[in-house]
Structure 1
Amino acid sequence: MSYRIVAVHVNESRHLIERVNLAAQVARDANAHLVGVACSGPADNYYMADLLGAGAAGLSIYRDFMQEQCATNLASFEAAADKAGVPFFEKRVIEDEAGIALCLQARYSDLLVVGQPDPDEAPPAQRADMVEYVLMHSGRPLLLVPYAWKASAIGKTVMVAWDGSLEAAHAVSAALPLLRNARLVQVTVFNPEVGPNAHGEEPGADIALYLERHGIEVEVSRQHVGHQIDIGNAMLSHAADIGADLIVMGGYGHARFREVLLGGVTQTILRSMTVPVLMSH
């Protein structure tokens, strides 16, 4: 497997260039086509206005504004992609809310690059749970870029957070093009349980063998985490300890409602990530 089409979300965020630079690196290394996707439709709550009165005129003005905003943002994307030396790239505007538009584009892409929501930003054409929505409904892996992250090469030291779940298996398969180029791939199992349902008799060994048969040299680390720290923060701490520049993991192995209500690993990573994360549901 290799990436042939990499799509990146293009919006008015001040973190856009870092996101495009990362997408450009992945596309350039894979000799893939890069698609910059801007979304011009309003978020769902905009339609709560009176569309038969003043709201209708307001919607027309809003659409014109968003078209102009998309053109400006895509010009920034084009300049960054060209500067990064991406041989094949294109610009695309989808007239829909960002979550729905990105799910549409994801059907025709191998990898979708999106930004971690910045709490200091509130893009007008973006639902508050856009990342979670796209993760759950796109059917494609997401490469999530932290808003505090500054552009640098990724994929040299990769931590694969393995729990034996279907979501983690999807993420590992989706990450193969990146893992093949890594200097170090560490399969990390947190609080492993020996048994037939997930980890087997030697936790991490089966997925390590799978990766080795794909030509990827790996090491396995088993981390035992006490009650004083949750798994999500333990993952981020361990990633920092080994100098990982990329985390690969499954997203929402439990029901999303349960994670939002009770807290969970996916919610912690989406909120507190410090390095890019390739996540798949």
Structure 2
Amino acid sequence: MAYKTILVHLDETPHNGARVLLAAELALQHGAHVIGVAFTGVSRFLYQNEMVDDHDPNFAVHLEVLRERARRALANFAPQLQALGVHSFEERVLDDEPGAGLALVARHADLAIVGQALPGHDGGGAPPAAFPAELLTESGCPVLVVPHTARLRGAIAVDTAGVASPGAPAPGRHALIAWSASKESSRAVREALPLLAGADRITVAIVDADLRPALFGERPGDDVVAWLARHGIAARVVLAQTPRTGLLKRPGDVGETLLMVAGEHGCDLLVLGAYGHSRLRETLLGGVTRTVLESMLVPVFMAH
């Protein structure tokens, strides 16, 4: 099982190159084809509903400016991949919004790589904060979100014959699975199996298991560990508890607890089942997912 088509969103925001580096490393590991996509930000629905006039000279000038910006985002894509030893790739400039456009392309991909939303940054084709939610709910494709803190350089070695091998491994040497026994977390683990199979260590984090004993049973985590073991993947379970506050001892923030566990155990990837609603219901992410995406320090793999 492997990711054979990897989609990467490109823009002019910082750490654009980190996404390409990660896509390259995964492409080398999985023998994958990489598609780099940049968007103008002009929704395709404007064309479909005939709300824009292609022959309007003012619109044509504005559209060309937006297309040039998208081309700049792609400027280093091909050279960077070639230098890293990846030779199966393509690049596209599309007239669409990032969320809706990438969701459409991602329906024909195994994995989509995007950047963490930058607070207050709306230039360079940067996606809005709801971008990961729209991509997840509208594409059916798992998403790997790269944080601002991602490294910009790798240690991929390319020999004189042009054969490349990953030097500094892609994130996932020590993966943390956020297991809630929900269908979302189950889907995330299933979609992440190609990454998990190559990990050196895997930790399954279960938060506040005591609040839902019917879901986890007497030995929380045993079932998911056995499931992974049948795939040849060894994992251990860590039970965590959020702070209990107030007279009623209400549980605290699960997202913050997961990030704390990831930091304490030195994890370099978080696998998370994402909760969300359809675009017609305002594309809202669940509270845990929002917290993680806002404060993440390691890449986050999500499926919905």
TM-score by structure 1 length? 0.88
Alpha-carbon distance in 2 for matches of 1:237, 1:20: 28
**1:75 offset after TM fit, Å?**
2.1
Taking a change above 3 Å as real, the CA distance of residues 214 and 136 of structure 1, as seen in their structure-2 partners, is: same
Letter in 2 for 1:6: I
Taking a change above 3 Å as real, the CA distance of residues 170 and 52 of structure 1, as seen in their structure-2 partners, is: closer
Deviates more, 1:251-260 or 1:216-225: 251-260
Letter in 2 for 1:234: T
Q: Secondary structure of 2:29's partner?
A: helix
Q: Secondary structure of 2:188's partner?
A: helix
Task: Name the residue aligned to 2:25.
Answer: 25
Matched, 1:130 2:131: yes
Superposition RMSD on alpha carbons, in Å?
A: 2.8
Kept after mapping to 2: 8 A contact 1:155/1:245:
yes
What is the CA deviation profile of residues 42-69 of structure 1, one whole-angstrom value per residue up to 9, with x for unaligned ones? 269x99xxx789xx54432221012212
What is the CA deviation profile of residues 174-204 of structure 1, one whole-angstrom value per residue up to 9, with x for unaligned ones? 11111111110011101114544x3233211
**1:123 offset after TM fit, Å?**
3.2
Gaps of 5+ in 2: 155-169, 246-251
Kept after mapping to 2: 8 A contact 1:252/1:259:
no
Gaps of 5+ in 1: none
Q: Secondary structure of 1:75's partner?
A: coil
TM-score by structure 2 length? 0.82
> Equivalences for 1:10-21 in 2 at 5 Å?
10-21=10-21
Alpha-carbon distance in 2 for matches of 1:175, 1:15: 23
Kept after mapping to 2: 8 A contact 1:42/1:124:
no
Task: Name the residue aligned to 1:72.
Answer: 72
Alpha-carbon distance in 2 for matches of 1:278, 1:83: 26
Q: 2:289 aligns with which of 258, 263, 266?
A: 266
Alpha-carbon distance in 2 for matches of 1:119, 1:40: 20
What is the CA deviation profile of residues 181-236 of structure 1, one whole-angstrom value per residue up to 9, with x for unaligned ones? 1110011101114544x323321111111111001011111112223641111111
What is the CA deviation profile of residues 128-185 of structure 1, one whole-angstrom value per residue up to 9, with x for unaligned ones? 2222211221111100011232246311110000001111111101111111111100
Q: How many residues align?
A: 275
Alpha-carbon distance in 1 for matches of 2:291, 2:228: 27
Q: Structure 1 runs of 4+ off > 6 angstroms?
A: 253-259
Q: Secondary structure of 1:154's partner?
A: coil
Task: Name the residue aligned to 2:141.
Answer: 140
**1:105 offset after TM fit, Å?**
0.9
Letter in 1 for 2:141: R
Alpha-carbon distance in 2 for matches of 1:52, 1:179: 46
Q: Secondary structure of 2:148's partner?
A: coil
Q: Percent identity?
A: 37
Matched, 1:235 2:258: yes
Q: 2:206 aligns with which of 164, 167, 189?
A: 189
**1:71 offset after TM fit, Å?**
2.0
Alpha-carbon distance in 2 for matches of 1:217, 1:52: 55
Alpha-carbon distance in 1 for matches of 2:277, 2:43: 27
**1:254 offset after TM fit, Å?**
8.2
Q: Secondary structure of 2:267's partner?
A: coil
Q: Secondary structure of 2:224's partner?
A: helix
**1:41 offset after TM fit, Å?**
3.6
Q: Secondary structure of 1:247's partner?
A: strand
Matched, 1:171 2:188: yes
Alpha-carbon distance in 1 for matches of 2:185, 2:28: 26
